[in-house]
Structure 1
Amino acid sequence: MNETIQKYIDLAVQLGMSVGLKILGALVLWIIGRIVIRAVLGILDRSLRTRKIDDTVSKYLGSVAGVLLNILLLLSVLSVFGIETTTFAGLLAAAGVAIGVAWSGLLSNLASGVFMIVLRPFKVGDYVIAGGIEGTVQAIGLFVTAIDTPDNVRTFVGNGKIFSDTIKNFSENPYRRVELVAQLSGQADVHKVIAVLKEKLKAIPNVAKTPAPDVEVLTFTLAGPVLAVRPYCHTEHYWAVYFATNQVINDEIGKLGFPAPANPVLITEQKRAAA
Protein backbone atom coordinates (compact mmCIF):
# COMPACT_ATOMS: atom_id res chain seq x y z
CA MET A 1 0.00 0.00 0.00
CA ASN A 2 2.76 2.39 0.97
CA GLU A 3 4.65 1.51 -2.19
CA THR A 4 1.55 2.34 -4.30
CA ILE A 5 1.12 5.71 -2.58
CA GLN A 6 4.82 6.47 -2.99
CA LYS A 7 4.55 5.55 -6.66
CA TYR A 8 1.74 8.07 -7.19
CA ILE A 9 3.62 10.69 -5.21
CA ASP A 10 6.72 10.20 -7.33
CA LEU A 11 4.60 10.39 -10.50
CA ALA A 12 2.91 13.60 -9.32
CA VAL A 13 6.28 15.16 -8.46
CA GLN A 14 7.71 14.14 -11.83
CA LEU A 15 4.66 15.54 -13.65
CA GLY A 16 4.72 18.72 -11.60
CA MET A 17 8.40 19.28 -12.35
CA SER A 18 7.84 18.65 -16.04
CA VAL A 19 4.88 21.04 -16.24
CA GLY A 20 6.59 23.56 -13.98
CA LEU A 21 9.69 23.60 -16.15
CA LYS A 22 7.55 24.12 -19.24
CA ILE A 23 5.68 26.99 -17.57
CA LEU A 24 8.97 28.52 -16.43
CA GLY A 25 10.46 28.09 -19.90
CA ALA A 26 7.39 29.65 -21.54
CA LEU A 27 7.50 32.57 -19.11
CA VAL A 28 11.21 33.18 -19.75
CA LEU A 29 10.64 32.91 -23.51
CA TRP A 30 7.74 35.39 -23.32
CA ILE A 31 9.77 37.94 -21.34
CA ILE A 32 12.83 37.65 -23.57
CA GLY A 33 10.63 37.68 -26.67
CA ARG A 34 8.88 40.89 -25.59
CA ILE A 35 12.26 42.55 -24.95
CA VAL A 36 13.50 41.47 -28.37
CA ILE A 37 10.30 42.68 -30.07
CA ARG A 38 10.60 46.11 -28.43
CA ALA A 39 14.24 46.30 -29.52
CA VAL A 40 13.42 45.27 -33.10
CA LEU A 41 10.54 47.76 -33.33
CA GLY A 42 12.82 50.48 -31.95
CA ILE A 43 15.47 49.70 -34.56
CA LEU A 44 12.81 49.66 -37.29
CA ASP A 45 11.42 53.02 -36.14
CA ARG A 46 14.87 54.64 -36.08
CA SER A 47 15.70 53.18 -39.49
CA LEU A 48 12.50 54.56 -41.02
CA ARG A 49 13.11 57.97 -39.44
CA THR A 50 16.70 57.99 -40.73
CA ARG A 51 15.42 57.32 -44.24
CA LYS A 52 12.85 60.11 -43.72
CA ILE A 53 9.90 57.82 -44.42
CA ASP A 54 6.53 59.58 -44.03
CA ASP A 55 5.15 59.30 -40.46
CA THR A 56 1.90 57.76 -41.72
CA VAL A 57 3.71 54.93 -43.51
CA SER A 58 6.33 54.39 -40.79
CA LYS A 59 3.74 54.07 -38.03
CA TYR A 60 1.67 51.69 -40.14
CA LEU A 61 4.72 49.51 -40.89
CA GLY A 62 5.60 49.51 -37.19
CA SER A 63 2.07 48.38 -36.34
CA VAL A 64 2.21 45.56 -38.91
CA ALA A 65 5.63 44.42 -37.70
CA GLY A 66 4.48 44.46 -34.07
CA VAL A 67 1.45 42.26 -34.79
CA LEU A 68 3.47 39.73 -36.84
CA LEU A 69 6.26 39.49 -34.25
CA ASN A 70 3.78 38.98 -31.42
CA ILE A 71 2.04 36.20 -33.37
CA LEU A 72 5.41 34.47 -33.90
CA LEU A 73 6.17 34.84 -30.18
CA LEU A 74 2.80 33.32 -29.25
CA LEU A 75 3.41 30.34 -31.54
CA SER A 76 6.87 29.89 -30.00
CA VAL A 77 5.39 29.89 -26.47
CA LEU A 78 2.80 27.30 -27.53
CA SER A 79 5.54 25.10 -28.95
CA VAL A 80 7.16 24.98 -25.47
CA PHE A 81 4.06 23.11 -24.25
CA GLY A 82 4.35 20.66 -27.16
CA ILE A 83 1.60 22.26 -29.24
CA GLU A 84 2.86 22.03 -32.81
CA THR A 85 2.11 24.91 -35.14
CA THR A 86 0.71 22.42 -37.67
CA THR A 87 -1.75 21.18 -35.05
CA PHE A 88 -2.62 24.76 -34.17
CA ALA A 89 -3.23 25.56 -37.83
CA GLY A 90 -5.39 22.44 -38.14
CA LEU A 91 -7.55 23.55 -35.23
CA LEU A 92 -7.98 26.97 -36.82
CA ALA A 93 -8.92 25.37 -40.12
CA ALA A 94 -11.49 23.15 -38.42
CA ALA A 95 -13.12 26.20 -36.88
CA GLY A 96 -12.73 28.25 -40.06
CA VAL A 97 -16.37 29.23 -40.50
CA ALA A 98 -16.83 30.46 -36.95
CA ILE A 99 -13.51 32.29 -36.95
CA GLY A 100 -14.29 33.85 -40.33
CA VAL A 101 -17.55 35.29 -39.03
CA ALA A 102 -15.96 36.51 -35.79
CA TRP A 103 -12.98 38.03 -37.58
CA SER A 104 -14.87 39.54 -40.51
CA GLY A 105 -14.80 42.95 -38.85
CA LEU A 106 -11.06 42.70 -38.16
CA LEU A 107 -10.34 41.61 -41.72
CA SER A 108 -12.42 44.55 -43.00
CA ASN A 109 -10.43 46.92 -40.77
CA LEU A 110 -7.17 45.36 -41.98
CA ALA A 111 -8.09 45.74 -45.66
CA SER A 112 -9.32 49.31 -45.11
CA GLY A 113 -6.06 50.20 -43.37
CA VAL A 114 -4.08 48.97 -46.37
CA PHE A 115 -6.27 50.97 -48.76
CA MET A 116 -5.88 54.12 -46.63
CA ILE A 117 -2.10 53.79 -46.73
CA VAL A 118 -2.18 53.33 -50.52
CA LEU A 119 -4.84 55.93 -51.41
CA ARG A 120 -3.82 58.43 -48.68
CA PRO A 121 -7.10 60.28 -47.97
CA PHE A 122 -5.23 61.71 -44.97
CA LYS A 123 -1.91 61.37 -43.17
CA VAL A 124 -0.59 61.65 -39.63
CA GLY A 125 -0.98 65.24 -38.41
CA ASP A 126 -3.99 66.06 -40.58
CA TYR A 127 -7.13 67.53 -39.00
CA VAL A 128 -10.09 65.45 -40.17
CA ILE A 129 -13.60 64.26 -39.59
CA ALA A 130 -13.42 60.51 -40.13
CA GLY A 131 -15.80 57.81 -38.93
CA GLY A 132 -17.84 60.52 -37.20
CA ILE A 133 -14.84 61.67 -35.11
CA GLU A 134 -13.22 65.09 -35.50
CA GLY A 135 -9.63 65.71 -34.55
CA THR A 136 -5.95 65.35 -35.43
CA VAL A 137 -4.72 62.01 -36.80
CA GLN A 138 -1.99 60.53 -34.60
CA ALA A 139 -1.52 57.10 -36.19
CA ILE A 140 -3.03 54.78 -38.78
CA GLY A 141 -2.72 51.31 -37.29
CA LEU A 142 -3.26 47.82 -38.63
CA PHE A 143 -6.90 47.75 -37.50
CA VAL A 144 -7.68 51.18 -36.02
CA THR A 145 -6.78 54.83 -36.52
CA ALA A 146 -5.89 56.99 -33.51
CA ILE A 147 -7.39 60.50 -33.51
CA ASP A 148 -6.96 63.19 -30.84
CA THR A 149 -10.20 65.18 -30.52
CA PRO A 150 -10.14 68.97 -29.88
CA ASP A 151 -10.66 68.34 -26.15
CA ASN A 152 -7.50 66.15 -26.19
CA VAL A 153 -9.13 62.72 -25.94
CA ARG A 154 -7.34 59.90 -27.78
CA THR A 155 -10.05 58.12 -29.79
CA PHE A 156 -9.58 54.86 -31.72
CA VAL A 157 -11.79 54.35 -34.77
CA GLY A 158 -11.99 51.14 -36.81
CA ASN A 159 -10.39 51.53 -40.23
CA GLY A 160 -13.42 49.88 -41.84
CA LYS A 161 -15.77 52.49 -40.34
CA ILE A 162 -13.55 55.31 -41.56
CA PHE A 163 -13.09 53.98 -45.08
CA SER A 164 -16.79 53.24 -45.57
CA ASP A 165 -17.86 56.71 -44.39
CA THR A 166 -17.31 60.26 -45.64
CA ILE A 167 -13.88 61.68 -44.83
CA LYS A 168 -13.33 65.42 -44.43
CA ASN A 169 -9.69 66.47 -44.51
CA PHE A 170 -9.32 70.08 -43.36
CA SER A 171 -5.54 70.06 -43.77
CA GLU A 172 -5.38 69.02 -47.42
CA ASN A 173 -5.98 72.51 -48.82
CA PRO A 174 -3.78 75.51 -47.94
CA TYR A 175 -6.63 77.40 -46.23
CA ARG A 176 -10.18 77.06 -44.92
CA ARG A 177 -12.96 79.58 -44.31
CA VAL A 178 -13.95 80.78 -40.84
CA GLU A 179 -17.74 81.24 -40.67
CA LEU A 180 -19.09 84.06 -38.48
CA VAL A 181 -22.02 86.50 -38.58
CA ALA A 182 -22.60 90.00 -37.22
CA GLN A 183 -26.09 91.30 -36.44
CA LEU A 184 -26.46 95.04 -37.08
CA SER A 185 -29.23 97.42 -36.16
CA GLY A 186 -31.46 98.88 -38.83
CA GLN A 187 -29.85 102.31 -38.21
CA ALA A 188 -26.28 101.15 -38.84
CA ASP A 189 -24.31 102.31 -41.88
CA VAL A 190 -23.80 98.90 -43.51
CA HIS A 191 -21.21 100.08 -46.05
CA LYS A 192 -19.09 101.72 -43.37
CA VAL A 193 -19.22 98.63 -41.14
CA ILE A 194 -18.21 96.38 -44.05
CA ALA A 195 -15.27 98.64 -44.98
CA VAL A 196 -14.00 98.81 -41.38
CA LEU A 197 -14.28 95.07 -40.75
CA LYS A 198 -12.55 94.14 -44.01
CA GLU A 199 -9.62 96.37 -43.08
CA LYS A 200 -9.36 95.18 -39.48
CA LEU A 201 -9.63 91.48 -40.37
CA LYS A 202 -6.48 91.74 -42.47
CA ALA A 203 -4.52 92.71 -39.35
CA ILE A 204 -5.48 89.56 -37.43
CA PRO A 205 -2.45 87.22 -37.14
CA ASN A 206 -2.51 84.20 -39.50
CA VAL A 207 -5.43 85.46 -41.61
CA ALA A 208 -4.68 84.67 -45.26
CA LYS A 209 -4.09 87.61 -47.57
CA THR A 210 -5.35 85.58 -50.54
CA PRO A 211 -8.25 85.10 -50.65
CA ALA A 212 -9.06 88.32 -48.83
CA PRO A 213 -11.63 88.23 -45.99
CA ASP A 214 -15.29 88.36 -47.05
CA VAL A 215 -17.70 90.72 -45.30
CA GLU A 216 -21.08 90.90 -47.05
CA VAL A 217 -24.78 91.24 -46.22
CA LEU A 218 -26.00 87.71 -45.60
CA THR A 219 -29.67 88.23 -44.75
CA PHE A 220 -32.12 90.55 -42.99
CA THR A 221 -34.00 90.18 -39.71
CA LEU A 222 -36.48 92.39 -37.88
CA ALA A 223 -33.54 93.81 -35.93
CA GLY A 224 -31.60 94.77 -39.07
CA PRO A 225 -29.13 93.37 -41.62
CA VAL A 226 -26.91 90.40 -40.79
CA LEU A 227 -23.35 90.36 -42.12
CA ALA A 228 -21.42 87.25 -43.12
CA VAL A 229 -17.88 87.69 -41.76
CA ARG A 230 -15.50 85.16 -43.34
CA PRO A 231 -11.72 85.39 -42.99
CA TYR A 232 -9.53 82.56 -44.36
CA CYS A 233 -6.68 80.77 -42.62
CA HIS A 234 -4.86 77.45 -42.33
CA THR A 235 -6.57 74.79 -40.21
CA GLU A 236 -3.78 75.01 -37.63
CA HIS A 237 -4.87 78.58 -36.79
CA TYR A 238 -8.63 78.13 -37.21
CA TRP A 239 -9.75 78.63 -33.61
CA ALA A 240 -7.30 81.46 -32.91
CA VAL A 241 -8.62 83.33 -35.95
CA TYR A 242 -12.21 82.46 -35.02
CA PHE A 243 -11.98 84.00 -31.54
CA ALA A 244 -9.91 86.98 -32.72
CA THR A 245 -12.51 87.74 -35.41
CA ASN A 246 -15.31 87.70 -32.85
CA GLN A 247 -13.31 90.17 -30.78
CA VAL A 248 -12.79 92.46 -33.80
CA ILE A 249 -16.53 92.38 -34.62
CA ASN A 250 -17.42 93.33 -31.07
CA ASP A 251 -14.80 96.07 -30.70
CA GLU A 252 -15.07 97.75 -34.10
CA ILE A 253 -18.88 97.88 -34.34
CA GLY A 254 -18.92 99.25 -30.79
CA LYS A 255 -16.46 102.00 -31.73
CA LEU A 256 -18.67 103.11 -34.64
CA GLY A 257 -21.35 104.07 -32.13
CA PHE A 258 -24.38 102.62 -33.88
CA PRO A 259 -27.36 101.59 -31.70
CA ALA A 260 -27.41 98.01 -30.56
CA PRO A 261 -29.75 95.70 -32.53
CA ALA A 262 -33.21 95.49 -30.99
CA ASN A 263 -34.60 92.19 -29.77
CA PRO A 264 -36.65 90.67 -32.66
CA VAL A 265 -39.10 89.15 -30.18
CA LEU A 266 -39.68 92.56 -28.59
CA ILE A 267 -40.20 94.16 -32.01
CA THR A 268 -42.79 91.54 -32.92
CA GLU A 269 -44.66 92.07 -29.65
CA GLN A 270 -44.65 95.86 -30.17
CA LYS A 271 -46.10 95.47 -33.67
CA ARG A 272 -48.83 93.20 -32.38
CA ALA A 273 -49.67 95.69 -29.62
CA ALA A 274 -49.84 98.56 -32.14
CA ALA A 275 -52.16 96.56 -34.38
Structure 2
Amino acid sequence: MANNLVETTVSTASKYQDLVLQYATDFGIKILAAIAFWVVGRWLIHMAVRMVQGSLEKQKVDPTVLRYVGSVITVTLNILLVIGILGYFGIQTTTFAALIAAGGIAIGMAWSGLLANFAAGAFIIVLRPFKVGDFVTAGGITGTVKEIGLFATALNTPDNVVTLIGNNKIFSDTIQNYSLNPFRRVDLKAQLAGSADHRAAIALLKEKVAAIPNVLAAPAVDVEILEFNLVGPVLAVRPYCHNDHYWQVYFDTNKVIKEALAEAGFPVPTPSQVLSLATPSVLETLASKFKS
Protein backbone atom coordinates (compact mmCIF):
# COMPACT_ATOMS: atom_id res chain seq x y z
CA MET A 1 0.00 0.00 0.00
CA ALA A 2 2.90 2.30 0.72
CA ASN A 3 4.28 1.61 -2.73
CA ASN A 4 0.95 2.58 -4.31
CA LEU A 5 0.93 5.86 -2.35
CA VAL A 6 4.46 6.65 -3.48
CA GLU A 7 3.62 5.87 -7.08
CA THR A 8 0.50 8.05 -6.90
CA THR A 9 2.49 10.94 -5.43
CA VAL A 10 5.20 10.62 -8.06
CA SER A 11 2.61 10.44 -10.82
CA THR A 12 0.80 13.53 -9.54
CA ALA A 13 4.08 15.48 -9.21
CA SER A 14 5.04 14.41 -12.71
CA LYS A 15 1.72 15.64 -14.09
CA TYR A 16 2.07 19.02 -12.36
CA GLN A 17 5.65 19.28 -13.58
CA ASP A 18 4.57 18.54 -17.14
CA LEU A 19 1.73 21.05 -16.82
CA VAL A 20 4.01 23.79 -15.48
CA LEU A 21 6.56 23.02 -18.17
CA GLN A 22 3.88 23.20 -20.85
CA TYR A 23 2.55 26.54 -19.58
CA ALA A 24 6.06 27.93 -19.24
CA THR A 25 6.90 26.80 -22.77
CA ASP A 26 3.72 28.32 -24.19
CA PHE A 27 4.25 31.57 -22.30
CA GLY A 28 7.90 31.74 -23.37
CA ILE A 29 6.92 31.18 -26.99
CA LYS A 30 4.35 33.97 -26.72
CA ILE A 31 6.91 36.30 -25.16
CA LEU A 32 9.39 35.58 -27.95
CA ALA A 33 6.64 35.99 -30.53
CA ALA A 34 5.57 39.30 -28.97
CA ILE A 35 9.17 40.57 -29.09
CA ALA A 36 9.40 39.47 -32.71
CA PHE A 37 6.10 41.16 -33.52
CA TRP A 38 7.29 44.36 -31.82
CA VAL A 39 10.61 44.45 -33.68
CA VAL A 40 9.07 43.58 -37.05
CA GLY A 41 6.14 45.93 -36.43
CA ARG A 42 8.40 48.83 -35.57
CA TRP A 43 10.43 48.17 -38.70
CA LEU A 44 7.28 48.07 -40.83
CA ILE A 45 6.01 51.30 -39.22
CA HIS A 46 9.33 52.98 -40.00
CA MET A 47 9.14 51.77 -43.60
CA ALA A 48 5.50 52.90 -43.93
CA VAL A 49 6.30 56.39 -42.62
CA ARG A 50 9.26 56.67 -44.98
CA MET A 51 7.12 55.58 -47.94
CA VAL A 52 4.41 58.11 -47.11
CA GLN A 53 6.91 60.91 -46.62
CA GLY A 54 8.73 59.94 -49.81
CA SER A 55 5.46 60.04 -51.74
CA LEU A 56 4.62 63.46 -50.30
CA GLU A 57 8.11 64.75 -51.08
CA LYS A 58 7.65 63.80 -54.74
CA GLN A 59 4.51 65.93 -54.72
CA LYS A 60 6.59 68.81 -53.28
CA VAL A 61 4.63 68.97 -50.04
CA ASP A 62 5.89 71.47 -47.48
CA PRO A 63 8.49 70.01 -45.02
CA THR A 64 6.32 71.15 -42.12
CA VAL A 65 3.45 68.96 -43.32
CA LEU A 66 5.85 66.05 -43.88
CA ARG A 67 7.06 66.06 -40.26
CA TYR A 68 3.58 66.49 -38.87
CA VAL A 69 2.08 63.65 -40.95
CA GLY A 70 5.02 61.41 -40.06
CA SER A 71 4.50 62.01 -36.33
CA VAL A 72 0.75 61.30 -36.51
CA ILE A 73 1.22 58.08 -38.52
CA THR A 74 3.96 56.84 -36.16
CA VAL A 75 1.89 57.39 -33.02
CA THR A 76 -1.25 55.82 -34.52
CA LEU A 77 0.49 52.71 -35.86
CA ASN A 78 2.37 52.19 -32.59
CA ILE A 79 -0.94 52.18 -30.67
CA LEU A 80 -2.40 49.64 -33.12
CA LEU A 81 0.72 47.49 -32.77
CA VAL A 82 0.42 47.42 -28.97
CA ILE A 83 -3.28 46.48 -29.21
CA GLY A 84 -2.43 43.68 -31.64
CA ILE A 85 0.26 42.26 -29.36
CA LEU A 86 -2.09 42.35 -26.36
CA GLY A 87 -4.73 40.59 -28.45
CA TYR A 88 -2.21 37.87 -29.27
CA PHE A 89 -1.80 37.27 -25.53
CA GLY A 90 -5.56 36.77 -25.24
CA ILE A 91 -6.39 40.13 -23.69
CA GLN A 92 -9.76 41.40 -24.91
CA THR A 93 -9.06 44.41 -27.10
CA THR A 94 -12.56 45.75 -26.54
CA THR A 95 -11.83 45.96 -22.83
CA PHE A 96 -8.48 47.49 -23.62
CA ALA A 97 -10.15 50.06 -25.89
CA ALA A 98 -12.52 50.95 -23.08
CA LEU A 99 -9.56 51.36 -20.73
CA ILE A 100 -7.83 53.55 -23.30
CA ALA A 101 -10.95 55.69 -23.58
CA ALA A 102 -11.23 56.04 -19.80
CA GLY A 103 -7.53 56.70 -19.50
CA GLY A 104 -7.79 59.21 -22.33
CA ILE A 105 -10.44 61.15 -20.45
CA ALA A 106 -8.33 61.19 -17.29
CA ILE A 107 -5.19 62.13 -19.21
CA GLY A 108 -7.14 64.74 -21.14
CA MET A 109 -8.24 66.41 -17.93
CA ALA A 110 -4.74 66.28 -16.47
CA TRP A 111 -2.97 67.22 -19.69
CA SER A 112 -5.42 69.73 -21.09
CA GLY A 113 -2.54 72.05 -21.88
CA LEU A 114 -0.80 69.42 -24.02
CA LEU A 115 -4.04 68.65 -25.86
CA ALA A 116 -4.54 72.36 -26.47
CA ASN A 117 -1.02 72.53 -27.90
CA PHE A 118 -1.78 69.50 -30.09
CA ALA A 119 -4.99 71.08 -31.44
CA ALA A 120 -3.22 74.40 -32.03
CA GLY A 121 -0.47 72.56 -33.92
CA ALA A 122 -3.09 71.03 -36.21
CA PHE A 123 -4.57 74.48 -36.89
CA ILE A 124 -1.10 75.90 -37.61
CA ILE A 125 -0.52 73.14 -40.16
CA VAL A 126 -3.91 73.70 -41.81
CA LEU A 127 -4.04 77.52 -41.76
CA ARG A 128 -0.28 77.91 -42.46
CA PRO A 129 0.42 81.34 -40.88
CA PHE A 130 4.09 80.40 -41.30
CA LYS A 131 6.23 77.51 -42.48
CA VAL A 132 9.68 76.08 -41.76
CA GLY A 133 12.32 78.63 -42.74
CA ASP A 134 10.17 81.75 -42.19
CA PHE A 135 11.42 84.56 -39.96
CA VAL A 136 8.61 85.34 -37.52
CA THR A 137 7.64 86.76 -34.17
CA ALA A 138 5.40 84.23 -32.42
CA GLY A 139 4.56 83.84 -28.76
CA GLY A 140 6.74 86.85 -27.98
CA ILE A 141 9.85 85.24 -29.54
CA THR A 142 11.51 86.38 -32.76
CA GLY A 143 13.45 83.90 -34.87
CA THR A 144 13.55 81.53 -37.83
CA VAL A 145 11.09 78.62 -37.74
CA LYS A 146 13.13 75.43 -37.41
CA GLU A 147 10.38 72.86 -36.81
CA ILE A 148 6.64 72.71 -36.15
CA GLY A 149 5.98 69.74 -33.85
CA LEU A 150 2.88 68.10 -32.45
CA PHE A 151 2.99 70.17 -29.26
CA ALA A 152 5.63 72.88 -29.73
CA THR A 153 7.32 74.95 -32.41
CA ALA A 154 11.10 75.45 -32.46
CA LEU A 155 12.46 78.89 -33.35
CA ASN A 156 16.13 79.66 -33.90
CA THR A 157 16.62 83.19 -32.54
CA PRO A 158 19.05 85.69 -34.14
CA ASP A 159 21.58 84.99 -31.37
CA ASN A 160 21.52 81.29 -32.42
CA VAL A 161 19.46 79.90 -29.52
CA VAL A 162 16.83 77.26 -30.27
CA THR A 163 13.65 78.19 -28.38
CA LEU A 164 10.61 75.90 -28.01
CA ILE A 165 7.19 77.57 -27.77
CA GLY A 166 3.91 75.79 -27.05
CA ASN A 167 1.67 75.78 -30.13
CA ASN A 168 -1.30 77.02 -28.12
CA LYS A 169 0.67 80.07 -26.94
CA ILE A 170 1.60 80.81 -30.55
CA PHE A 171 -1.90 80.34 -31.94
CA SER A 172 -3.55 82.43 -29.21
CA ASP A 173 -1.06 85.30 -29.57
CA THR A 174 -0.15 87.72 -32.35
CA ILE A 175 1.95 86.24 -35.15
CA GLN A 176 4.19 88.42 -37.32
CA ASN A 177 5.61 86.79 -40.44
CA TYR A 178 8.46 88.89 -41.85
CA SER A 179 9.15 86.47 -44.72
CA LEU A 180 5.68 86.49 -46.25
CA ASN A 181 6.00 89.82 -48.11
CA PRO A 182 8.72 90.37 -50.74
CA PHE A 183 10.32 93.26 -48.80
CA ARG A 184 10.24 95.08 -45.45
CA ARG A 185 11.07 98.56 -44.19
CA VAL A 186 14.05 99.51 -42.04
CA ASP A 187 13.17 102.30 -39.55
CA LEU A 188 16.00 104.58 -38.42
CA LYS A 189 16.37 108.17 -37.24
CA ALA A 190 18.88 110.96 -37.93
CA GLN A 191 19.24 113.87 -35.51
CA LEU A 192 20.03 117.27 -37.06
CA ALA A 193 21.17 120.45 -35.39
CA GLY A 194 18.70 123.31 -35.30
CA SER A 195 20.93 125.37 -37.61
CA ALA A 196 21.31 122.61 -40.21
CA ASP A 197 19.75 122.83 -43.68
CA HIS A 198 17.21 120.01 -43.43
CA ARG A 199 16.42 120.07 -47.18
CA ALA A 200 20.06 119.47 -48.09
CA ALA A 201 20.33 116.75 -45.43
CA ILE A 202 17.22 114.97 -46.77
CA ALA A 203 18.51 115.05 -50.37
CA LEU A 204 21.97 113.85 -49.29
CA LEU A 205 20.67 110.93 -47.22
CA LYS A 206 18.28 109.80 -49.95
CA GLU A 207 21.15 109.63 -52.40
CA LYS A 208 23.65 107.94 -50.09
CA VAL A 209 21.24 105.41 -48.52
CA ALA A 210 19.87 104.40 -51.94
CA ALA A 211 23.42 103.41 -52.94
CA ILE A 212 23.76 100.89 -50.07
CA PRO A 213 23.92 97.28 -51.33
CA ASN A 214 20.59 95.39 -51.24
CA VAL A 215 18.50 98.55 -50.73
CA LEU A 216 15.55 98.37 -53.14
CA ALA A 217 15.02 101.05 -55.75
CA ALA A 218 11.25 100.59 -55.47
CA PRO A 219 9.86 101.53 -53.06
CA ALA A 220 12.28 104.43 -52.92
CA VAL A 221 14.09 105.45 -49.74
CA ASP A 222 11.97 107.65 -47.46
CA VAL A 223 13.71 110.52 -45.66
CA GLU A 224 11.39 113.06 -44.03
CA ILE A 225 11.14 115.15 -40.87
CA LEU A 226 9.67 112.93 -38.20
CA GLU A 227 9.63 115.22 -35.14
CA PHE A 228 11.36 118.07 -33.36
CA ASN A 229 13.21 118.19 -30.06
CA LEU A 230 15.35 120.70 -28.19
CA VAL A 231 18.37 119.88 -30.36
CA GLY A 232 16.64 120.27 -33.73
CA PRO A 233 14.65 118.31 -36.32
CA VAL A 234 14.73 114.51 -36.31
CA LEU A 235 14.67 112.81 -39.72
CA ALA A 236 13.04 109.43 -40.35
CA VAL A 237 15.32 107.38 -42.61
CA ARG A 238 13.49 104.40 -44.09
CA PRO A 239 15.08 102.20 -46.77
CA TYR A 240 13.40 99.02 -48.04
CA CYS A 241 15.04 95.62 -48.50
CA HIS A 242 14.40 91.87 -48.55
CA ASN A 243 14.10 90.21 -45.15
CA ASP A 244 17.37 88.28 -45.68
CA HIS A 245 19.31 91.58 -45.89
CA TYR A 246 17.54 93.43 -43.07
CA TRP A 247 20.39 93.64 -40.55
CA GLN A 248 23.03 94.37 -43.19
CA VAL A 249 20.96 97.29 -44.49
CA TYR A 250 20.15 98.38 -40.91
CA PHE A 251 23.80 98.67 -39.83
CA ASP A 252 25.04 100.08 -43.16
CA THR A 253 22.37 102.80 -43.07
CA ASN A 254 23.48 103.85 -39.59
CA LYS A 255 27.05 104.17 -40.87
CA VAL A 256 25.95 106.18 -43.89
CA ILE A 257 23.93 108.60 -41.72
CA LYS A 258 26.94 109.31 -39.52
CA GLU A 259 29.58 109.49 -42.25
CA ALA A 260 27.55 111.32 -44.93
CA LEU A 261 26.42 114.15 -42.65
CA ALA A 262 29.92 114.55 -41.17
CA GLU A 263 31.65 114.62 -44.59
CA ALA A 264 29.13 117.18 -45.90
CA GLY A 265 29.99 119.52 -43.02
CA PHE A 266 26.66 119.52 -41.24
CA PRO A 267 26.92 120.91 -37.69
CA VAL A 268 27.09 118.37 -34.93
CA PRO A 269 23.75 118.18 -33.10
CA THR A 270 24.49 119.02 -29.46
CA PRO A 271 22.00 119.88 -26.73
CA SER A 272 22.17 123.49 -25.58
CA GLN A 273 21.03 125.19 -22.41
CA VAL A 274 20.31 128.86 -21.82
CA LEU A 275 21.75 130.15 -18.56
CA SER A 276 20.29 133.45 -17.27
CA LEU A 277 22.35 135.40 -14.73
CA ALA A 278 20.55 137.81 -12.43
CA THR A 279 21.92 141.39 -12.16
CA PRO A 280 22.87 142.86 -8.73
CA SER A 281 19.73 145.00 -8.65
CA VAL A 282 17.54 141.96 -9.17
CA LEU A 283 19.38 140.10 -6.42
CA GLU A 284 18.86 143.03 -4.00
CA THR A 285 15.14 143.11 -4.81
CA LEU A 286 14.80 139.34 -4.18
CA ALA A 287 16.74 139.65 -0.91
CA SER A 288 14.51 142.45 0.34
CA LYS A 289 11.39 140.37 -0.45
CA PHE A 290 12.71 137.40 1.50
CA LYS A 291 13.56 139.61 4.49
CA SER A 292 10.10 141.12 4.54
**Aligned runs of 1:57-136 on 2, under 5 Å?**
57-76=65-84, 78-79=86-87, 83-95=91-103, 97-136=105-144
Which residue of the other structure, out of 194, 197, 219, is the alignment partner of 2:205? 197
Equivalent pair of 1:25/1:80 in contact (CA under 8 Å): no
**113-122 or 14-23, which deviates more:** 14-23
Which residue of the other structure, out of 207, 214, 235, is the alignment partner of 1:206? 214
**Cross-structure match for 1:36:** 44
**Cross-structure match for 2:58:** 50
Equivalent pair of 1:208/1:233 in contact (CA under 8 Å): yes
**Cross-structure match for 2:155:** 147
Which residue of the other structure, out of 170, 184, 187, is the alignment partner of 1:179? 187
Q: Matched residue of 1:174: which SS?
A: coil
- Cα distance in 2, alignment partners of residues 83 and 256 from structure 1: 88
**Cross-structure match for 2:174:** 166
User: How many pairs were matched up?
Assistant: 268
Matched, 1:216 2:224: yes
Equivalent pair of 1:143/1:159 in contact (CA under 8 Å): yes
Provide the TM-score with structure 2 as the length reference. 0.77
Q: 1:17 to 1:201 in 2, by over 3 A?
A: farther
- Cα distance in 2, alignment partners of residues 15 and 151 from structure 1: 63
Q: Which consecutive unaligned segments of at least 5 residues does structure 1 have? A: none
Q: 1:207 to 1:10 in 2, by over 3 A?
A: farther
- Cα distance in 1, alignment partners of residues 99 and 28 from structure 2: 26
- Cα distance in 2, alignment partners of residues 221 and 37 from structure 1: 68
- For the pair shown, the structure with the greater C-alpha radius of gyration is 2
Equivalent pair of 1:224/1:261 in contact (CA under 8 Å): yes
Q: Which consecutive unaligned segments of at least 5 residues does structure 2 have? A: 1-9, 279-292
The structure, 1 or 2, with the larger RCO (C-alpha pairs under 8 Å, 6+ apart) is 1
**Cross-structure match for 1:231:** 239
**60-69 or 74-83, which deviates more:** 74-83
Deviation at 1:93, TM superposition (A): 3.3
- Cα distance in 1, alignment partners of residues 82 and 248 from structure 2: 49
Deviation at 1:13, TM superposition (A): 8.9
**110-119 or 12-21, which deviates more:** 12-21
**11-20 or 204-213, which deviates more:** 11-20
Deviation at 1:95, TM superposition (A): 4.2
Deviation at 1:219, TM superposition (A): 1.5
Q: Matched residue of 1:71: which SS?
A: helix
Provide the TM-score with structure 1 as the length reference. 0.81
- Cα distance in 1, alignment partners of residues 249 and 101 from structure 2: 58
Give CA-to-partner distance per residue, 1:239-270, whole Å, 9 cap, x none.
111111112112211211223221x3xx34xx
AA at the equivalent of 1:216: E
**80-89 or 160-169, which deviates more:** 80-89
Q: 1:274 to 1:258 in 2, by over 3 A?
A: farther
- Cα distance in 1, alignment partners of residues 166 and 69 from structure 2: 17
- Cα distance in 1, alignment partners of residues 161 and 37 from structure 2: 36
Q: 1:99 to 1:215 in 2, by over 3 A?
A: same
**Cross-structure match for 1:157:** 165
Identity of aligned residues (%): 58
CA-based RMSD: 3.2
Q: Matched residue of 1:59: which SS?
A: helix
**Cross-structure match for 2:265:** 257
